[in-house]
Structure 1
Amino acid sequence: MLTLNLAHEPDAAIMVRAAWLYHIGGLTQEEVARRLGVHRTRIVRLLSEARERGLVSVTINHETIRDLDLEHAIARRYGLDFCLATPSMGFDATDGEPRLAAAQGMIARRAVGGAGANFLKGKLASGKPITVGVSWGRTLEQMTQHLSGVQNSRACFVSLMGSLTRNSASNPFEVVQALAARTGGEGHFLPVPFIADTVADRAVLMSQRTVAEALALAASAELYLISVGELRETSFLRTQSMLSAEELRSIQAEGAVADSLGRLFDRNGAVVDHELARRTLAMEFEHLRNRDVVLLAGGTHKVVSVHALLQTGFVRGLIIDGDAARLLQNV
């Protein structure tokens, strides 16, 4: 099971979550401790303190309970080991309102990036060796900017896909390098473009020794942090001119609504076989099966694509903004 590692968090941050898992979720104290990555004696103390402070009576008296109920419902629906939802800002779907969508997306990415950084910090805090596979995206970029206060020279970060554009802070090279710099770990990236001009060009690039070595390292990772793209005119691939308008229409015509690691998926999570996907350079998505994969997604505009990717069964953990999580219930 993919667990959280919250031992570095203060008691107040753990208490409500532990109380909910124990009193409402029905987990034993040992199971709560394992789920949160906290020693059992600390969980016992926090549960006792929660009762003494009146946090727990017949119900859990805390506004966070709404978020925990939502997280639990999403995790149960999609068979996840965990879901972390940031506090809702009260945004609804923003279709047809580009400026509002842009503002909401920026706020959501910052919130999810912060939550993702805290999750990763828990995984790195022990100082043990760990290899983390990283995809690309603006939310993952935000995660690197929020990550602080943790050093692990034995951590290794490796890109799961080719670089996007030389000037984009969201391409995997920059994300990996930022993670390595902030933690004192190592960074490895795929020294190739994300999309080759032709299928034959992709085959040549994938056969290079440096590419094969990077992909082998990626396949050995203990943890994967990925994102998902929405296949619309406002998507990152489209605004960065990685996709032409004609290619986007062609992909949409095949029923694709989401992309991740260069693979396309329809609303039900089925792979969409399109020529564009056969030109992308990335780790094979199938290698993520039964691995510790965490999806970071920020923005109400990504609800459909998040639903699609969760339908694949590859994702074990979800970190999402509260507004998107609320809308995800109704997809």
Structure 2
Amino acid sequence: MIERSDPAGERRLDLAARAAWLYYFKSRTQEQIATELNISRQIVQRLIALANSERLIRFQLIHPLAESIELADRLRDRFELIYCDVCLSESGSSEDIPSVATQATFYLENIIQQKAPLTIGMGSGGAMREVSRRLPPMDRPQHHCVSLMGNLTRDGRATHYDVVTRLAERLNAQCYPLPVPVVTNTIEEREVLQAQPGYGVLRSLVEEATLLIMGIGFWGPQATLYRDGFITAAETAQAMDAGGVGELLGCAISADGEIVDAAYHDRLTSFVRTQPADRPTTIVASGVYRAPAIRAALKGRLANSLITDENTARLVLSMD
């Protein structure tokens, strides 16, 4: 590094700054710079290299996505993600599911383009429902779409988040829903359901899936599991008391991404979560209330990919 107190060094830095300005900002060729500064082309090359080594140049991406790209990069580094995409969001909005779902659609569409047979494990939720609505029709009968969790309440009412069926229809793909209660009344009931041949087929498909993609929930009066009637108020309160801040495939997780001791877990029919995630496992989520849950899942390595919006990304990063 050149000492600023060295007059010769200062003059060389001044010349390097001029050469770099002409090269990067005025788009001059090295030959043009050599002529303009009355030096050789080889010296121009050395001056530009010096400007970089002395950090005289600072690059700035001038594009609306510049901050989104930076946020995605920070999230990827912070949580060691294999994939992260952050989209623009409306200023001040607490949730932007449409934008995030659109971004997730592009991501999923690129993967589904392949002609080799593909098995995708699908979670549920509002964001995933929007993804299934936005995906353009494609003819992929060789692909399998399999649900990662049940779609019924204990009294037999079906959820309106029928993601896997919608997606399979859009793709003309093979569809494997899980038509069982998310949480059963008893352990024995869960065991009977999971002993059925159909459940075994779905388990095998989930094990071979090359991609798992899902939304994520939060805890409180508006928690999806409670609001849609999958668990009771008492079960919700107990899961929160046990430290639950997020809900992934029906499972309550703590701020550190650990599965908490929720009373309903031994009656949960969704497929077992691998920790750490052993394949591309993507969360598609947005919102103030979901930010702690997103951070928990990434910190606990229950997921290794994320698609979200700028506002949510800032919240997740600020929690550290």
TM-score normalised per structure 1: 0.74
CA contact (8 A) 1:251 1:274 kept: yes
Give, as a single letter, the amino acid of the residue that structure 2 aligns with 1:90: S
Match among 153, 157, 160 for residue 169 of structure 1: 160
Give SS of 2:92's match. coil
Match of 2:175 in 1: 187
Give SS of 2:159's match. coil
Q: How far apart are the structure 2 equivalents of 1:216 and 1:201?
A: 21
How far residue 59 of structure 1 moved from its aligned partner, in angstroms, is 2.8
How far residue 177 of structure 1 moved from its aligned partner, in angstroms, is 1.1
Q: How far apart are the structure 2 equivalents of 1:275 and 1:206?
A: 19
The answer on 1:83 being equivalent to 2:84 is yes
Q: Deviations over 1:212-262 (max 9, x none)?
A: 111111111011002211011111112112222222111111111111123
Q: Deviations over 1:91-125 (max 9, x none)?
A: 26xxxxxxxxxxx44xx121111111111100011
The answer on 1:239 being equivalent to 2:215 is no
Give SS of 1:285's match. coil
Match of 2:110 in 1: 122
Give, as a single letter, the amino acid of the residue that structure 1 aligns with 2:318: N
Cα 1:86/1:221, change in 2 over 3 Å: same
Cα 1:287/1:265, change in 2 over 3 Å: closer
| Equivalent residues in 2 for 1:20-99, closer than 5 Å | 58-91=59-92
The count of residues paired between Structure 1 and Structure 2 equals 260
Give, as a single letter, the amino acid of the residue that structure 2 aligns with 1:199: I
The answer on 1:311 being equivalent to 2:302 is no
Give, as a single letter, the amino acid of the residue that structure 2 aligns with 1:315: A
Cα 1:306/1:287, change in 2 over 3 Å: closer
Give SS of 1:161's match. coil
Give, as a single letter, the amino acid of the residue that structure 1 aligns with 2:206: A
How far residue 159 of structure 1 moved from its aligned partner, in angstroms, is 0.5
| Equivalent residues in 2 for 1:111-260, closer than 5 Å | 111-165=99-153, 166-170=157-161, 174-260=162-248
How far residue 288 of structure 1 moved from its aligned partner, in angstroms, is 7.0
Give, as a single letter, the amino acid of the residue that structure 1 aligns with 2:193: L
Q: Deviations over 1:182-225 (max 9, x none)?
A: 11111101231111001121111111111111111111101100
How far residue 287 of structure 1 moved from its aligned partner, in angstroms, is 7.4
Q: Percent identity?
A: 24
Q: How far apart are the structure 2 equivalents of 1:324 and 1:289?
A: 22
Unaligned runs of 5+ in 1: 1-56, 93-103
Give SS of 1:176's match. helix
CA RMSD of aligned residues (A): 1.9
How far residue 149 of structure 1 moved from its aligned partner, in angstroms, is 4.7
Match of 2:283 in 1: 295
CA contact (8 A) 2:235 2:263 kept: no
TM-score normalised per structure 2: 0.77
Q: How far apart are the structure 1 equivalents of 2:61 and 2:144?
A: 40
Match among 252, 263, 273 for residue 275 of structure 1: 263
